[in-house]
């Protein structure tokens, strides 16, 4: 499974690193903090002095000071500026209010902004409670769910949760083999679904969910209808999602992919655990505390990229790293006997590999020296160690997304 098995490891083997959160409550908290910071910047220094009266949210504002004579003349027909020198126009140009007049209150600041990876969150955007489409789930049920989700996020008063959804576009050349393996797995799952429905006449298990044809396009059109911002990647979807997240200052990423977990993202939420309450007042999910994960694995977060590379991925598959993974376990490991299989490649269990690789990475003296790491990784390979292709795979341009945290 390689790095893709790390997501399951987080959910099952790191209980202290998975905490439940309510995204709607989080959005209201973020909005209040932003309002307080905005008010703090707008108040004069005298209002911030000790003993000065404080204006709390919901309290009556202070009465405005009396208008000067010039201001009275401007609005009551007396002496004042002429019509083509309207005071409001003059001070709007210079970015300040006319003397003695209070400017209109600023618009409410937005709440939390969460980026949604549609590539891994598509089953949840389809809806998490209606019948599977194989046994009669209707499109209007999906539209009803998305409508309820958008209404729940649009909390009045500027305290809402802004969702921005990014859909995968083109497929990068480096991920073509991974896409082929995923299609083969989906084909096998489809055969299981057809056999289950034909033999038992009951809906298939939720774990076998396969999105119907054109679900991505239909969800995109529905989100646009509900005025949700929608974007699409062009080449490498994972890299573009992370770059878009960092450039636009989102508060969190909602996804279900191991690669996002190993990036340096402030708040990573599980789209698989996303649940909307029936009354629309709670939108709960799980947050992964990657600092706690690093602590349990004995790693530094700065070493996550090389840790992900040595687990195996679309560039360096775990089949090519099998000899390295078995060498980390050693001949005395209880699972060492599984390696001896005639004409069959056997991979160690994913959780065992994750712990072994984390111990190996923590023991590396200089993780930035990729040449030395590559030679040590492939010393058990059947290829010659002097072949630069063996260890320079770690220096592939796409691999730098892991190693150099682009």
Place of tokens 């998305």: 146
Residue corresponding to tokens 């599984």:
338
| Range ranked top by mean pLDDT from 87-96, 105-114, 394-403 | 105-114
Residue 89 pLDDT more than 50? Answer: no
Lookup result for tokens 């001949």: 331
Across 3-21, average pLDDT? 88
Residue 377 confidence (pLDDT): 81
366 versus 118: the higher-pLDDT residue is 118
Give the residue with greater pLDDT, 263 vs 32: 263
Specify the residue for token string 């990729």: 370
Average predicted confidence (pLDDT) for the chain: 76
pLDDT of residue 380: 58
Least Cα distance to 281 among 100, 135, 144, 154 occurs for 154
* Coil, helix or strand at residue 162: strand
Structural domains for the chain: 2-24+110-294 (3.40.50.1010), 298-403 (no CATH)
Confidence of residue 51 (pLDDT cuts 50, 70, 90): low
Residue 227 has pLDDT above 60, yes or no: yes
The phi, psi pair for 120, rounded to 5°, reads -105, -15
Q: What is the mean pLDDT of residues 53-57?
A: 48
pLDDT of residue 308: 87
* pLDDT beyond 60 at 202: yes
Regarding predicted confidence, which is higher, 45 or 186? 186
Mean pLDDT for 392-402 is 45
Confidence label for 339 from pLDDT (cuts 50, 70 and 90)? low
CB atoms within 10 A of CB 301: 15
114, 255 contact by CB (below 8 A): no
The tokens describing 396, both together, are 């592939």
Instruction: Give the model's confidence band at 221: pLDDT under 50 very low, under 70 low, under 90 confident, else very high.
Output: very high
Tokens 């004579």 -> residue: 69
Q: CA geometry: angle at 330 spanning 304 and 392, to 5°? A: 45
Confidence of residue 30 (pLDDT cuts 50, 70, 90): confident
Question: 3-class SS at 257?
Answer: coil
CB 146 within 8 A of CB 226: yes
At residue 52, the pLDDT reads 53
CB hemisphere CA count around 272 (13 angstroms) = 13
What is the model's pLDDT at position 56? 47
Least confident of 94-108, 161-175, 225-239: 94-108
Q: What is the mean pLDDT of residues 188-203?
A: 92
**Model confidence, pTM:** 0.74
Confidence of residue 246 (pLDDT cuts 50, 70, 90): very high
Q: Quick check: 222 pLDDT over 80?
A: yes
Q: How confident is the model at residue 137 (pLDDT cuts 50, 70, 90)?
A: low
The pLDDT assigned to 190 comes to 92
Would you say residue 86 has pLDDT above 70?
no
**Mean pLDDT on 253-264:** 90
Alpha carbons 67 and 73: distance in angstroms, whole number: 10
Q: Measuring CA to CA, how many Å separate 257 from each of 1, 6, 16?
A: 12, 9, 19
DSSP output for 208-254: G--PPTTHHHHHHHHHHHTT-EEEE-SS-HHHHHHHHHHHTT-SEEE
What pLDDT sits at residue 212? 81
């Amino acid at each position: 499974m390689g790095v893709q098995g790390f997501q399951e490891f987080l959910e099952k083997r790191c209980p202290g690193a998975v905490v439940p959160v309510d995204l709607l409550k989080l959005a209201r908290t973020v909005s209040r903090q932003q309002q307080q910071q905005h008010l703090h910047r707008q108040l004069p220094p005298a209002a911030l002095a000790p003993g000065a009266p404080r204006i709390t949210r919901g309290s009556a504002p202070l009465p405005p000071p009396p208008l000067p004579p010039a201001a009275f003349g401007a609005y009551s027909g007396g002496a004042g500026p002429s019509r083509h020198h309207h005071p409001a126009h003059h001070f709007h140009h210079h970015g300040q209010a006319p003397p003695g007049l209070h400017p209109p209150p600023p618009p409410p600041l937005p709440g939390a902004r969460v980026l949604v990876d549609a590539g891994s969150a598509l089953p949840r955007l389809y809806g998490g409670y209606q019948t599977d489409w194989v046994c009669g789930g209707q499109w209007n049920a999906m539209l009803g769910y998305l409508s309820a989700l958008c209404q729940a996020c649009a909390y009045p008063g500027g305290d809402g949760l802004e969702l921005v959804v990014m859909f995968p576009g083109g497929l990068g050349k480096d991920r073509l083999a991974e896409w082929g393996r995923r299609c083969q797995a989906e084909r096998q799952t489809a055969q299981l679904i057809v056999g289950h429905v034909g033999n038992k006449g009951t809906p298939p298990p939720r774990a076998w969910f396969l999105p119907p044809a054109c679900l991505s396009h239909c969800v995109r059109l529905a989100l646009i209808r509900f005025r949700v911002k929608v974007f699409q990647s062009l080449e490498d979807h994972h890299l573009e999602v992370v770059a878009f997240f960092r450039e636009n200052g989102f508060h969190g990423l909602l996804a279900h992919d191991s690669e996002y977990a190993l990036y340096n993202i402030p708040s990573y939420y599980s789209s698989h655990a996303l649940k909307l309450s029936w009354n629309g007042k709670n939108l709960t999910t799980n947050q992964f505390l990657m600092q706690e994960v690093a602590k349990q694995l004995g790693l530094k977060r700065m070493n996550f990229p090389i840790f992900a590379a040595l687990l195996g991925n679309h560039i360096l598959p775990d089949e090519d790293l099998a000899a390295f993974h078995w060498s980390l376990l050693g001949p005395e490991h209880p699972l060492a006997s599984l390696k001896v299989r005639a004409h069959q490649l056997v991979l160690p269990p994913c959780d065992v590999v994750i712990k072994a690789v984390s111990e190996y990475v923590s023991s590396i003296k200089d993780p930035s020296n990729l040449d030395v790491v590559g030679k040590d990784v492939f010393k058990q390979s059947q290829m010659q160690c002097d072949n630069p292709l063996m260890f320079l795979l770690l220096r592939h341009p796409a691999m730098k997304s892991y190693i150099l945290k682009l």
